[in-house]
Structure 1
Amino acid sequence: MKSMSTIRTRFFIPALALLVIIFAGIRLSYAEQTIQFAPLPMEKKDTMLSKFQPLTSFLSERLKTKIEYTYTSNYATLLEKFANSEIDLTFLGPLPYVKLRKNFPAAEPIIFFKQSKDKATYTCAIATFPDNHFDFFDGKLQKIGLTQPLSTCGYLSANGLMKQHGNSLENNLYRYLGAHDKVALAIIRGEVAAGGLKTEVAQKYEHLGLIILAETGPLPPFALVANTRTLKQETIDTIISSLLELDQMLADDTELTEHQKKIIGKGFLRGNDSAYHIIRELQGSVTIPERGNY
């Protein structure tokens, strides 16, 4: 006759194995439900995270899914993490998106962010400060601040604007400073004579004396980009329908709560890859240096 200890052991081991499997499944299911979101590092970390918190909280509720933030200090690291499937959802400008899509076709722009109720495009600018005595047309060897190599408002747009005015970055001294607000502050402090940055960011510093000298034409909008390799189509469809539903409320002049206003911002449009043809054309004829020349 088998002892009670033998019977208990035979019962205990399979039961324990079953519990391990169950809890492992729960952890796996939880991991699958967590979305990694990474905002483009355009401004200070706290500014970017607080800017997107209402939006990600709303999507988290709609999806019944936890959304965690992944913050990177530069564009290149963000794109690398996305291509390695460490990021599921990100906020990108046109040039970073085009670069990502070329190397990682699973990147899909699902939502465009409007710049105003009726406009989705935005512009980049060259800005200066009165005390810096920047010569836009004929100046040589002047210090110019840029954002990052993969920033649409960095080398690509700044050099284009200078060439339109008979000058170029190569005739001057330029270096990459990182976030757009760092460029604005470097100009105001006189660390650089001028800089290239998003017009919307430059306008935030006009009250401190920053002067916008020139703007690009309309550029494709910033986008919410989904990783179709890691996100289910059902999840992507829910994100799209939820945000377009909010935009329709804005279009219908529905009375919105303050919280809803923070989520919606200026509104949303359905994203699509074809909107970026102008960036691909511009990029095709320009070699963007990875480092500054001073």
Structure 2
Amino acid sequence: MMLGQTIHKSSFMMRASLIIALALILVGCKDETHQTAKKPKSQPPGLVLAVPPYEMPSNIQQRFHPLVTHLTEQLNQPVQLYITTSYEDQVKRLANGEVDLAYMGPSSYVKTRDNFPESHPILIAAEAPYRAALIVHKHSDINHIKQLNGRSFAFGSYHSYSGHYVVRQLLRLNHIYLRDLQFYSFLGRHERAIMSVVHQDFDAAATTEGLAQRFIELGYPIRVVATSELLAPTVIVARKNLKPELIQSLRESLLFFQSDIKHTGLSFFEVDNQDFTEVEKILYAIEH
């Protein structure tokens, strides 16, 4: 009898302890949820400038550091550099208002402008026009675009204007289509495409004339076999809802003070949407 009472009492105490423990856990969870809900979302201070990964991140950081410092001083607020994970990532972040500014190639700008009309980016300034280049290994027997029929080819990012669209249009004008290549690949960045030719993994690659020349000066065994006409410029754009007075300050900082940042290799000029008419035609020709 006493054993039964002891067991019953012990069982009761265990159930009571479990109920109390459960209540404490629930209270703790409620308090934690309440505290978490109170925490504000962390926002980076100042402005964020998004740059696509067209080169190695360290090279991009080195190139843009003087520009970011310049804008921080002129605007009297922090400007941070953000290297996106891809060209697509840059477009989405600008369209969603997650970054304030973007350094965009012609095709990325046109796609953002036309595919996200509710988030129409604001043109601020542009770099000087440039050329796309088609490169081969220094000792390659290829001397003309027509000789690429049946050869392998490396593009940069699919969304890169000079690293894909323009050079692919050059191939088309010489009656060479993707089906005519031995094989091809999109390697994501310009220097990856260049290095694939250096290591002779591919017979030819697409890049910019300026970048190809830089690699040649550094002693890499490549040469240019063809270049495009001058292309629409790379631009600095702002998200749609940035304040008009800030837009004006940015434009003045980039245009008026361009001599102060000339040593970065970045200098800016006025730009208009009419400058991208040819871009629209090439994108349509390639994707339709």
| TM-score normalised according to structure 2 size | 0.78
Pick from 186, 189, 193 the counterpart of residue 183 of structure 1.
193
User: Aligned AA for 1:123?
Assistant: R
Q: Which runs of 4+ in 1 moved over 4 A?
A: 30-33
Give me the identity figure in percent. 23
Distance 1:165 1:204 in 2: 27
After the TM superposition, which residues 103-142 of structure 1 pair with which residues of structure 2 at under 5 Å, given as runs?
103-105=115-117, 106-113=120-127, 120-134=128-142, 136-142=145-151
- 1:136 deviates by 3.4
Cross-structure match for 1:62: 74
Q: Does 1:148 align with 2:148?
A: no
Aligned-residue Cα RMSD (Å) equals 2.3
Cross-structure match for 1:43: 55
Cross-structure match for 1:233: 244
User: Aligned AA for 1:235?
Assistant: L
- 1:186 deviates by 0.9
Secondary structure of the residue that 1:77 maps to in structure 2? helix
CA contact (8 A) 1:138 1:166 kept: no
Residue segments in structure 1 that go unaligned for 5+ positions in a row: 1-23, 114-119, 251-255, 289-294
Pick from 170, 182, 188 the counterpart of residue 179 of structure 2.
170
Distance 2:272 2:233 in 1: 10
Secondary structure of the residue that 1:49 maps to in structure 2? helix
User: Aligned AA for 2:232?
Assistant: P
After the TM superposition, which residues 54-93 of structure 1 pair with which residues of structure 2 at under 5 Å, given as runs?
54-93=66-105
Secondary structure of the residue that 1:154 maps to in structure 2? helix
- 1:32 deviates by 8.2
Q: Does 1:276 align with 2:284?
A: no
CA contact (8 A) 1:37 1:89 kept: yes
- 1:188 deviates by 0.8
The alpha-carbon distance between structure 1 residues 232 and 283, as it changes in their structure 2 partners (threshold 3 A), is: same
User: Aligned AA for 2:214?
Assistant: K
**Deviations 1:230-277 (CA, angstroms, capped at 9, x unpaired):** x21111110111222113xx4xxxxx6xxx4435x3532122222101
- 1:168 deviates by 2.8
Cross-structure match for 1:291: none
Distance 1:31 1:161 in 2: 44
- 1:48 deviates by 0.7
User: Aligned AA for 2:171?
Assistant: M
CA contact (8 A) 2:52 2:103 kept: yes
Pick from 159, 179, 193 the counterpart of residue 168 of structure 2.
159
The alpha-carbon distance between structure 1 residues 212 and 138, as it changes in their structure 2 partners (threshold 3 A), is: closer
Cross-structure match for 1:224: 236
The alpha-carbon distance between structure 1 residues 81 and 138, as it changes in their structure 2 partners (threshold 3 A), is: same
CA contact (8 A) 1:108 1:273 kept: no
User: Aligned AA for 2:257?
Assistant: L
Distance 2:240 2:271 in 1: 14
CA contact (8 A) 1:145 1:177 kept: yes
Distance 1:130 1:235 in 2: 48
Name the stretch that deviates more: 276-285 or 266-275. 266-275
Number of aligned positions between the proteins: 244
Secondary structure of the residue that 2:161 maps to in structure 1? coil
* Structure (1/2) with the larger helix percentage: 2
| TM-score normalised according to structure 1 size | 0.76
Distance 2:44 2:168 in 1: 43
Cross-structure match for 1:285: 285
